[in-house]
Structure 1
Amino acid sequence: MKKITITIDGLSSCGKSIMARQLAKKIGYIYIDTGAMYRAVTLYALQNNIIKENKIEEDRLKKALSQLEINFKLNKETSLPETYLNGVNVEKEIRSMQVSEQVSQIATLGFVRETLVNQQQKMGKDKGIVMDGRDIGTTVFPDAELKIFVQASPEVRAKRRYDELKAKNIESDYDQILANVTQRDEIDMNRAISPLRPAKDALILDNSDLTIEEQNEWLLEKFNEVIS
């Protein structure tokens, strides 16, 4: 069976990672969470005082990027991939509200995007991957055989994010999350470099009223259509 590249882009907190991860597991592909990569860079910047009072010291971050090693390892207990930064498991830390509030700002920096896009393209050069993010179908793999763009209302996305954080025992506030979701939409869609938008040949999936099972069934159907 031929292997293809599958990209899943969309708004923040719309369930991209869950659907990409589950699809990859179902079809035996490798799953790559590019959002976690930007979050890892953001976490590093916060931990090293490169972000101060919401301002980024870009020269320091640019120098530090070459020293950052971001990779994913499978948790044998949960069968889920977890993010490692310079050999340290940071999966919980990168999902914090502090990181969420700064990650879109980090993602607007051209040198950060260039570095991570190059890494992502190397990860996916042999196909057989499902990669989710903001610009995977438009910038990272514009020739991908299957492109999905996911959207849902801000309120639905905020509630999902709130439930996800609570399940991980991460302190969270719904109103704060809703404000963050709205702010990130504004930044992501209006940034100068690789703004968030559907690829011209992307399939649009609004999952506001879909269960996880329903969207998984839809994704598998689209995958089978492409490879048949």
Structure 2
Amino acid sequence: MAELPYTIAIDGPAASGKGTLARRIAAHYGLRHLDTGLTYRAVARELLQAGLPLDDERSAIAAAERFAIGDMRRDVLADHTIGEAASKIAVMPGVRKVLVDRQRRFAGEGSGAVLDGRDIGTVVCPDALVKLYVTASPEIRATRRYHEILSNGGSADEEVILADIRKRDDRDMNRDDSPLKPATDAHLLDTSEMTIEAAFQGARERIDAALKQN
């Protein structure tokens, strides 16, 4: 069996299903879970609440150092305005350095953790026991996000969502610092035609094999 602590790294583009899969895996293996995207949103929220400009890197770094990871609320941080602000502060090298350090510390505590994001297997935890890259076509991801919004009582335009997803993909995959890409040793899970149960089973087989080998 693998020595503790161990990390399971899950990367992928927006609305690919990586967050749902990460939470399912964490619950199954009794590991803590961190959605690293929320850490950038938490910083953005602090700046917005303080009325500070989103291009103020010094203030963003200070916010990145002080917010409590354990107090992040997904329902609050899911706000679209916060998401747009987060995409602006996420390109700041100083902010990324602080948050990557904090994410690594989280991964190394206790029995280990499941981290999901866009640069976990390539930058944050390159030595993770298992690396998964979860993806799906932009059209499928837009449809999923559309129905998610409707199920939560909101309203949305699927074409607008699709355009936003394509814009985010381009920004994430082509940024200079820690671009979104599969780690060379990551296992690819294309969920375009896959249920969450099938994705979970595929991931579990990979993780169980790694646990036995290590």
Which residue does the alignment assign to 2:187?
Answer: 203
Distance 2:160 2:83 in 1: 11
Q: How does 1:206-225 map to 2 (within 5 A)?
A: 206-225=190-209
Higher share in helix: 2
Aligned-residue offset at 1:161? 1.6
Q: Does the C-alpha gap of structure 1 residues 60 and 227 become closer, same or farther in structure 2, counting only changes over 3 Å?
A: closer
Q: Secondary structure at the match of 1:56?
A: coil
Within 2, Cα distance between the matches of 1:133 and 1:32? 9
Counterpart of 1:71 in structure 2 is: 70
How many pairs were matched up? 209
Q: Structure 1: how far apart are the matches of 2:23 and 2:14?
A: 16
Query: Residue 14 of structure 2 is aligned with which of 12, 16, 20?
Result: 12
Alpha-carbon distance in 2 for matches of 1:151, 1:62: 30
Match of 2:86 in 1: 103
Matched, 1:60 2:71: no
Matching of residues 14-29 of structure 1 within 5 Å: 14-29=16-31
CA contact (8 A) 2:45 2:82 kept: yes
| 1:6 CA displacement | 0.5
1:162-195 CA-partner distances (Å, limit 9, x unpaired): 2223333344332222122111111111111111
The question of whether the paired residues in 1 share the 8 Å contact of 2:12 and 2:180 is answered with: yes
- Match for residue 80 of structure 1? none
Give distance in 1, aligned partners of 2:146 and 2:116. 20
Structure 1 range deviating more: 13-22 or 99-108? 99-108
Q: Deviations over 1:59-82 (max 9, x none)?
A: 33234433322325xxxxxxxxxx
Looking at structure 1, the residues matched to 113 and 206 of structure 2 have their Cα atoms a distance apart, in angstroms, of: 15
| TM-score scaled by length of structure 2 | 0.89
Cα distance in 1, alignment partners of residues 113 and 96 from structure 2: 20
Structure 2: stretches of 5+ with no match in the other structure: none
SS at structure 2 position matched to 1:35: helix
1:129 aligns with 2:131: no
Contact 1:158–1:178 (Cα < 8 Å) also in 2: yes
Report the TM-score, using the length of structure 1 for normalisation.
0.84
